[in-house]
Structure 1
Amino acid sequence: MAKAEAKTAIVTGASGGIGRAVAKRLAQDGFSVVLNYSGNADKAEQAVNEIKAAAGQATAIKADLSKEDEVASLFERSLSKLGQVDVVVHSAGVMPLSPIIKNDVKQFDEVIATNLRSTFLVLAQAAQHVADGGRIVALSSSVIAKSTPTYGAYIASKAGVEGLVKVLAGELRGRNISVNAVAPGPVATPLFLKDKTPEQIAQLSRIAPFERLGEPEDVARVISFLTGPDGGWINAQVVRPNGGFA
């Protein structure tokens, strides 16, 4: 970290799911955290209040991460509140499912805008503003290895995320900033569980040798390691906390 005595972080998509768990874990680790959200202000403020109740420091900032000006504003406002940014964790994303044969271009564009375009915009701002010695983490997905039907747009977007992460790691040579992707397997979040039947959920739960879905905290622990003092030698990697899913 650039300044161990004043660790700061931005976590996107932090009103729920994995992002919320990451924000709470980083606050527990001693970070002052900006929780970004796009729509659910009540859930974001609830997460902020939970962090503060545990003696952490947090604030919520709304931004649509598919829009260049709003991403820039998120970083400007975060810097104003935090003074500097040591860590950025980009967790925001969507996962609507549709077979490629349906040619649902509108849905495809939505997934690419929310998952891939937003990653490009967030990584670009992070590259400009993260302090030397900092950490950047973007969320991918272990489903890339499965080529699961109906996941075409989602897999395309996350494959792009992994590509961007590896390129940016090289571009930041000399600044001691690590850039990694974390690619969970199935995690019991509203995003993953949406529109799935109990039978589908049970089937997916049995794929990994541990025979359960991941929990958001499983992923948060990995990100805590990557953004903490022991994770500094991990760079340009895709870490897959998936219980053996793939």
Structure 2
Amino acid sequence: MEQILEIRDGCTTPAQLLKSKAFAQYLDIYKKQFIKELKNRENTDLKDDVLHKIDYINSIDASTYITIIEGDTPFSGDELKAHRDSVKFIDGAFHHYRTKSYTRLVRLHNEILEEGTDAEMIKDSVTLKADKLSELILETRRILLIRAGLGDGVRRTKGLECHPNVAVGEISGHFVNLPGEYSSLSKVAMTTTADMRTGVYYETHANKREFPFYALEHNPFKNDKFKAEDYVAIPFEVGAWNILCYIHKSRGCVEM
């Protein structure tokens, strides 16, 4: 099961995006997935070619694309060829991001409690941040393609969008008044608003659970290995009760 990409960076330019922690994390996620699929073909007649591709992919990192976007153009010769190969690879990552990844864009907004900021303003700002991120990703892709000499027709790719699957507003869990024995849960951020986008599934499957539910042998938050950053708190109103549900940030749980 692939990782969830959590974006907290506030980028406004293509260079900032390529230098961000989120881009480096996503590039790593995509490289691992790509290499995993290549290794399934290691026993074929193309084994040497597969091993060469794996070595090439391992050599790619964020600096590869920073060099392209900040370098002096036009590129030529071997440099242009190398940049084209790199951009073709990241364009595959772009389409993977749009169709197969799961991304959470997070905005921490403790000011909703500290300053009494209007909740609707917070919701609007979360949605606006998601819109701007989508526009920035598309613009960064366009610039990379053009700089590598692969930009023919890229301006006509209207209709593309790459919004995160969910953009959320969160507050620190320390604002939640929990009993002492639950103090470890105060480190889990609580979601207060969410802008969710329904994904487009290109590979459909039966509408059933893939794995059964099962009881854990221990309560996760009482475990010494409990990692607050691996969970998200979501409030529910059930009748007269206000309930906080702590959900693990794995795709099967969060997507549900």
Larger Rg: 2
Is the structural similarity TM-score above 0.5?
no
**Could you state the TM-score of these two structures normalised by the residue count of structure 2?**
0.31
TM-score, normalised to structure 1, is: 0.32
